[in-house]
Structure 1
Amino acid sequence: MKKILFFLSFLLLNTLLVFAQPNKVTADKIVGIIGNKIVLKSDITDRLLDMQRQGAEIPENGQCLVFQDLMGTKTLVLQAEKDSLPVTDEEVETDIDNRIRTYINQFGGKNELEKVAGKTIYQLKEDMRDPIKDQKLAAAMRNKIVDAVRITPTEVRNYFVKIPTDSLPYYESEVEIGQLIVFPKASRDAEEYCKEQLNEYKAAIESGKKDFKQAAAQYSDEPGAKERFGQMEINRNQKDIDPTFLSKCFTLKEGQISNPFKSKFGYHIIQLVSRNGEDVVVRHIIKIPQVTTIELKEGLDKLDSVRAKLIAGTIDFGTAINKYSDDDNSKFTAGMMQGPGGTFLTIDQLDKDIIPILKTLKPGAYSQPQAFTDPSGKQGVRIIYLKTQTAPHRENLRDDYNKIAQRALEEKKENAIEAWFNKKLSSYYIMIDPEFKDCDALKPWVDVANKRAGK
């Protein structure tokens, strides 16, 4: 059950984009039933085809795993409905919109997505609605099952000592690093110069002397805008877009170019390419006012005084982040950098400009303020905080307790879920098509079905 549930989570997150099957001629049939929920043979084949299109590796028993995944989801959904767990239509619609935007970016545009999928955006949303609602209900039920599961130090130790020594992972040197960032304000002259440049680009584009796409690739100061020829696909309800930029997108007519305006990222002009209800396609050119050595020196002096307070212990790093940092993302992480595994990062996951700074620091130390340029091209000043650093080592309880405890907790949760399934399955009517009766992954369902049939 544990391996199956891991596979289930991958499927739910990655295979909700349903492609058209124009050449499909095989008659569909019901291959599984639990309670009043059914699984069709096409549900399994479509899921596998979608996984292949997205580059996922399909295991030999892929059909069995997908089938078990669908049965597991429907079992959780049945109980969630019985327990009246709340999942609103608004939550589902928000998730659908977010996924559609992700797919649009993945496939390079709305038209390309519709072409590849063989369906309109409206049809894709309709296809996704029930699976996403089921996903949310299943997740809510799963969370309810494991909500009270906790792990004790004794359980962590017992979990760890059962792991064979030669199976313990080997960790390269890892660090926990924070950064306090300040973006010095550019002078008024620098800001005016950006607006003058944008007005020149606008005039040249409107006169036909320049093409907006090529101008965006040539003149934008942000690398991503250059690579995309300035194009963006935006929904009115997006929360990750600067409000001023978002508002401007919906005030233009198709083909119209805005006057220069300021967002928190710099100065822009926008051209509306198309609009469809709450969705727009725009192109933009961004100019970032450049700070001079004078403004950078002011930023360095400011952080130098903050560093003195940190060293003296009159302020802690998290408080300094909240009080002085100009990086919005830092506010949510107390300034600590995040990687796939949390706050612990290997050297190869770090910005190459940070690595030389690390060589001058010991754990608990703060670097001298240094100027840098962020990925968007914006100049700033930062202090690097080295919280911890480990030497290369074999996993052990002293250095890696939190990682071990997290794994032990996840195992305990999966055991709780497995026990829940074993208890609940017998209370539902279950049918598994004979074609799948030999699937080990489906054994709990097959056993219950056979028992009810007197086999």
Structure 2
Amino acid sequence: MKKFIYILVGVLGFAQIGLAQNKKIVADKIIGIVGDRIILQSDIKNAISDMQRQGGNVPENAECMLLEQALISKVMMLQAEKDSLPVSEEEVEADLDLRVREFIRMYGTQQALEEVAGKTIYQIKDDARESVKERKLAEAMQRKIMEGVKITPTEVKAYFDRIPKDSLPFYESEYEIGQIVAYPKASRDMEKYVIDELNNYKKQVDSRLTTFDQLAKRYSEDPGSKDRGGQYQINRNEKSWDPAFMAGAFRLKNGEISPVIKTKFGYHLIQMVERNGDEAIVRHILRIPPVTDIEVAEATSKLDSVRAKLIAGTIDFPVAAGKYSEDEAAKYAGPFISGRSGSSFVTIDELDKELVASLDKLKIGEFSQPLTFTDDRGKKGVRILYLKSRTQPHRMNVKDDYDKIAQLALEEKKYAAMEKWMNTRIPSYHIMIDSPNAVCPQLQKWTSTPKPTASNQ
């Protein structure tokens, strides 16, 4: 249970978005009460069903764990209300919108989601609103409890010394790699060729020689939607979409096809399938103008000049990346490649094959020659790699892994603070757990505490 308390706060709020509700519950009952808030058996069953549907690992004691999580969530939510911690209706609504959009992306369309849930989007949001607000109140309480928890170097060392030497993890080599990217610009002739092709597709649909989705399956260069006939569910308020794409889409009426639209990804035709306020189902065909060896050579020459400045020391790498790199991710995360943990250190298995092949030729502190590559969108680019550091395979130690150890020590201290806070609050609430669930080992403390009297409630 060590990290369950404060890392998974609100699991039920997420699961109760409504996807499991299309399964009829034959009988339901109250299996827990905290104060005036109840926990239903269906809450736990549906949470497990949604975890399974999303491909999550469901432990053997999932019901006990989720029931404890629900009890914790209720206590924290009630205390947040007592402390008047601010959670606005706008925050709840934004959270609901975000989660619904995530599920729409998962299932492809709003219609598919509604079929799975057995409800309309509005019903899904209404049913989930209370649990989402509870989760946000619990999170606010969690932040308040933990905001003052800090860790000192002495505590980090003490934490490390408590780890049995035969249990110290082994770390593979990790790399800190930066890159400056340039994308060759297609020639005007190639751009015109692609535009003409897209206009021809539009004429074919208008003439009813074929359908938009058939053309998308055949010609679109968007791997994320090609097999679905180019279909996406979009929302006007989502920031992840290209602004030109969104503006072009929401100017269309149902069934209408846009003129050719240029975005950072290439050129598009967009067809409006169905629109409902800020929500819409669209299809699109993406074509990316091909670049020739001439354009690649121009991008290579540009990066050659940047590399010369780096080697001469007239500009440092972060400044050069900010000034010259065309990598969109670098604008937000910086020029160093991020790993799964979110840090700037990555392992070999987190890198693309083209990049791995180039690493063997680089020493620490060196800059590669400009190298051609293909990104995850299928777009050809040229990049300079910078190998800032590389660790050797090793057992965890304070010298090489201080930040990792400090984070683990901080997590432990936060858990202890949370556990202490929870143990002081449990006796002050009326808590009931039905007898079959009360045998769960982690629930013993919830049933063994003295009941509050009328004077201390």
- Normalising by structure 1, we get a TM-score of 0.93
Is 221-230 or 259-268 further displaced after alignment? 221-230
How far apart are 1:352 and its partner, in Å?
0.6
| Equivalent position of 2:360 in the other structure | 359
8 Å contact kept, 1:17–1:128: yes
8 Å contact kept, 1:429–1:449: no
Is 218-227 or 14-23 further displaced after alignment? 14-23
Please state whether the residue corresponding to 1:353 is helix, strand or coil. Answer: helix
Q: Within 2, Cα distance between the matches of 1:266 and 1:56? A: 36
How far apart are 1:255 and its partner, in Å?
1.3
Please state whether the residue corresponding to 2:353 is helix, strand or coil. Answer: coil
1:105-124 to 2 correspondences below 5 Å: 105-124=105-124
Change (3 A) 1:435 1:297: same
| Equivalent position of 2:85 in the other structure | 85
| Equivalent position of 1:270 in the other structure | 270
CA offsets, 1:399-439, max 9 Å, x none? 22211111111111111111111122223232333333222
Q: Within 1, Cα distance between the matches of 2:128 and 2:122? A: 10
Change (3 A) 1:344 1:242: same
1:191-206 to 2 correspondences below 5 Å: 191-206=191-206
1:63-74 to 2 correspondences below 5 Å: 63-74=63-74
Q: Within 2, Cα distance between the matches of 1:13 and 1:297? A: 53
Q: Within 1, Cα distance between the matches of 2:228 and 2:66? A: 37
Q: Counterpart amino acid of 2:426?
A: L
8 Å contact kept, 2:16–2:46: no
Please state whether the residue corresponding to 2:410 is helix, strand or coil. Answer: helix
| Equivalent position of 2:420 in the other structure | 419
Q: Within 2, Cα distance between the matches of 1:46 and 1:152? A: 42
Q: Counterpart amino acid of 1:425?
A: I
Q: Within 2, Cα distance between the matches of 1:309 and 1:159? A: 45
| Equivalent position of 1:340 in the other structure | 340
Q: Given the alignment of the two structures, is residue 208 of structure 1 paired with residue 208 of structure 2, yes or no?
A: yes
Q: Counterpart amino acid of 1:407?
A: L
Q: Within 1, Cα distance between the matches of 2:397 and 2:93? A: 45
| Equivalent position of 1:103 in the other structure | 103
CA offsets, 1:207-254, max 9 Å, x none? 122221121122223332423321111011111011111011111111
| Equivalent position of 1:320 in the other structure | 320
Q: Counterpart amino acid of 1:329?
A: A
| Equivalent position of 1:368 in the other structure | 369
8 Å contact kept, 1:2–1:418: no
8 Å contact kept, 2:13–2:134: no
- Normalising by structure 2, we get a TM-score of 0.93
How far apart are 1:57 and its partner, in Å?
3.4
Q: Within 1, Cα distance between the matches of 2:124 and 2:34? A: 26
How far apart are 1:449 and its partner, in Å?
4.7
In structure 2, stretches of 5+ residues that fail to align are none
In structure 1, stretches of 5+ residues that fail to align are none
Is 194-203 or 375-384 further displaced after alignment? 375-384
Aligned pairs, number = 452
| Equivalent position of 2:171 in the other structure | 171
Q: Within 2, Cα distance between the matches of 1:228 and 1:326? A: 30
8 Å contact kept, 1:181–1:327: yes
How far apart are 1:34 and its partner, in Å?
2.1
Change (3 A) 1:236 1:291: same
| Equivalent position of 1:133 in the other structure | 133
Please state whether the residue corresponding to 1:354 is helix, strand or coil. Answer: helix
8 Å contact kept, 1:31–1:40: yes
Q: Counterpart amino acid of 1:186?
A: A
Is 276-285 or 41-50 further displaced after alignment? 41-50
Is 210-219 or 434-443 further displaced after alignment? 434-443
Q: Counterpart amino acid of 2:366?
A: A
Q: Within 1, Cα distance between the matches of 2:367 and 2:104? A: 42
Q: Within 2, Cα distance between the matches of 1:297 and 1:13? A: 53
CA offsets, 1:114-136, max 9 Å, x none? 22222222211112211212112
How far apart are 1:368 and its partner, in Å?
1.1
Identity, % of aligned positions: 52
Change (3 A) 1:316 1:139: farther
| Equivalent position of 1:149 in the other structure | 149
| Equivalent position of 1:54 in the other structure | 54
